[in-house]
Amino acid sequence: MQDNIEILIDRFYKGETNSLEEELLLNYFTQERDSLQNNADWDVFQALFAAKTSVPPELEQKIATLIDGWEAQEAGEKKRATGRYKIEFRMRIIGIAASILLVIGIGFWYQNQNVGNQSGLHETFNTPQESQEAVVEALQLFSHNFSKGTSAMEKADEQVDKTLKIVDQLLSEKAVDTKVNQVSQNQ
């Protein structure tokens, strides 16, 4: 019997006992203290089994409501994150479109520069070096203007990120306030 009790005590401390085994331990530890070998275990079990706690009936409902709120909040955060990725994708597409329009605009500007001199259908440069210099100059102009456009886009993206962080913070504060109000109203 003593070996079985030792095994049950060990299983109890590991959290592996069922209610029938715990009932056996309770019966064992309600005996006289002098007849038991495990006085330390007797103190532990007396403290555990003496405290009868009652669970309020509405506690389960409150916990379920709180968990549902957390799940709804998590779903909202995922939805906002998806929306943020869509915005970032759209901003990249807008940047690419702006770059293409910039290249086309430079091409039309350069073509209009040459219209006053001669027809655009024949060569306007006398040597390959002049042509190369004109191409390098056009590419430098494109690079400079492209850098301006991307830096402006980066600044706008930073502002959008800051705004989204503020909105997320306000929404999460509102969600916490709502949960606190719901819990206090339920009590």
CA–CA distance, 72 with 76 (Å, rounded to integer): 6
CA–CA distance, 7 with 41 (Å, rounded to integer): 13
Classify residue 146 as exposed, middle or buried by CB count within 10 Å of its CB (0-12, 13-18, 19+): middle
Residues 111-129 have pLDDT tens digits of: 877 655 554 444 577 888 8
Residues 130-175 have pLDDT tens digits of: 888 888 888 888 888 887 777 777 887 888 888 888 888 888 887 7
Of 77, 86, 134, nearest to 110 (Cα)?
134
Residue 37 has pLDDT above 50, yes or no: yes
Residues 77-97 have pLDDT tens digits of: 777 777 777 778 888 888 898
* CA dist 122 → 12, 25, 104, 116 (Å): 96, 105, 20, 13
Residues 152-161 have pLDDT tens digits of: 778 878 888 8
CA–CA distance, 131 with 123 (Å, rounded to integer): 9
Q: How do the domains of the chain map onto residue ranges? A: 2-50, 59-186
